[in-house]
Amino acid sequence: MRKVMLCTLALILLFGCGKKENLYIVGGPFRHEDDEGEKSGGTDVGLLCDPILNTITVSVNGKMLDSPGTFGFDYSYWFHDTVIPSPNSEHKLEVSTDIGDADATCNVPGDFSITSPVDSAQVGALTISWSIASEAEWYLIDIYFIDTYDNEQDTTLYTTETSVNLPAAWLYATGHLDIEVYAGDGPKIESGSGGNISGAKGYWFGTNCRYASVTVGAPASPRSSMPKAKDQSEVIKMYLEEIAPYDEEAAEILELME
């Protein structure tokens, strides 16, 4: 079955620090709504640093996040806020440490919907489309297909448009298709995008996700289970994997996340 995240649904993001007291930051608010209208999300913040930090405070929109442990004994810490962010909302991150301070701002894009396919599709070529999400700089589309014989395939696509096309060879049989479209605000997925953290290196994103479960053809067996929504750390990791080949900063952060 589809691999799941190392962290749970209420999860956290990773940050890293280099050997010259360089602070790296990766995180952000995330919102997810499935095809039945059930909502989940929160805000993930975490950091990793060498040398080990002795003091750390993290706040988002002025709200200080709870400390995950005693500082001064480890190089990695994680913070999480379980409040589901509203669409079209701004989120300002402020981090204070004994080696320096950092801040960044991002938006959770507005509400949108997957417009095609709605609940069923035929075997063959397929166009996935969605409405525009305000404040979105780009869209990440995660597509998972399992046929009636439990053969699986998964792919991730990125675009600044509002549709992507799957070739006929991708939907080669009857089965079930899961579609997650993440509207994202933050550095665009492009060569040399760089981070958006002031006073540090890293990436601060806001995402709003929509999910659709699609029947392909006429499967002989019903769907046994539904995949869990990705948390923000997995979304950002996919982003970093895409830009790492031509972005040194992204490659370094991705290495620390492994």
Task: Report residue 113 as tokens.
Answer: 């919907």
CATH code, 102:
2.60.40
Whether 132 and 75 share a structural domain: no
Percent of the chain whose predicted confidence (pLDDT) is above 70: 83
Residue 158 falls inside a structural domain: yes
184 and 126 belong to one structural domain: yes
- Residue 1, in any domain of the structure: no
Q: What is the pLDDT of residue 7?
A: 33
Q: Is the domain of 212 the same as that of 129?
A: yes
- Domain assignment present for residue 80? The answer is yes
Helix axes 248-257, 232-243, angle to 10 degrees: 140
Kindly state whether residues 138 and 83 are assigned to the same domain.
Answer: no
Q: What is the mean pLDDT of residues 50-56?
A: 72
Distance CA(202)–CA(217), nearest Å, equals 43
Cβ atoms 141, 160 nearer than 8 A: no
Residue type for position 108:
V
Q: Of all residues in the chain, what percent carry a pLDDT higher than 90?
A: 48
Clarify whether residues 128 and 36 are in a common domain.
no
pLDDT of residue 74: 66
| For residues 244-249, average pLDDT | 83
Of the listed ranges 75-84, 126-135, 220-229, 241-250, the least confidently predicted one is 220-229
Q: Are residues 120 and 30 in the same domain?
A: no
Range list of β-strands (E), the chain: 24-33, 39-48, 56-60, 63-64, 76-81, 89-97, 100-108, 114-116, 120-121, 126-130, 138-147, 152-159, 163-166, 175-185, 201-204, 206-216
Distance between CA atoms of residues 90 and 107, nearest Å: 4
| Burial class of residue 250 (count of CB atoms within 10 Å of its CB; 0-12, 13-18, 19+) | buried
Instruction: Place 184 in a pLDDT band, splitting at 50, 70 and 90.
Output: very high
In a domain, 128, yes or no: yes
Give the C-alpha separation, 184 to 110, whole Å.
10
- Examine residue 19 and state whether it is found in any structural domain, yes or no: no
User: Do 68 and 41 share a domain, yes or no?
Assistant: yes
Which structural domain, as residue segments, surrounds residue 161? 114-198+206-216
Residues 6+ apart with CB under 8 A from 12: 44, 45, 46, 78, 79, 80, 231, 233
Same domain, 212 and 123: yes
Question: Which pTM was predicted?
Answer: 0.83
Across the range 49-56, mean pLDDT stands at 72
The verdict on 141 and 212 lying in the same domain is: yes
pLDDT of residue 15: 39
CATH number at residue 169: 2.60.40.10
Amino acid at 77: Y
The number of domains in the chain is 2
pLDDT in tens, 56-80: 889 999 999 887 767 666 667 778 8
Whether residue 160 is found in the same domain as residue 121: yes
Mean pLDDT, rounded, of the chain: 83
Residue range 160-179: mean pLDDT, rounded: 93
Residue 7 lies in a domain: no
- Residue 11 within any structural domain of the chain: no
Residue 164 in tokens: 């992507």
Q: What per-residue confidence (pLDDT) applies to 132?
A: 98
DSSP 242: H
For residue 55, is pLDDT > 90?
no
18 located within any domain: no
Distance separating alpha carbons of residues 131 and 115, to the nearest angstrom: 7
pLDDT band for 225, please (50, 70, 90 cuts). low
Is the confidence at residue 122, as pLDDT, over 60? yes
Find, among 106, 210, 216, 83, the residue nearest to 152 by Cα.
216
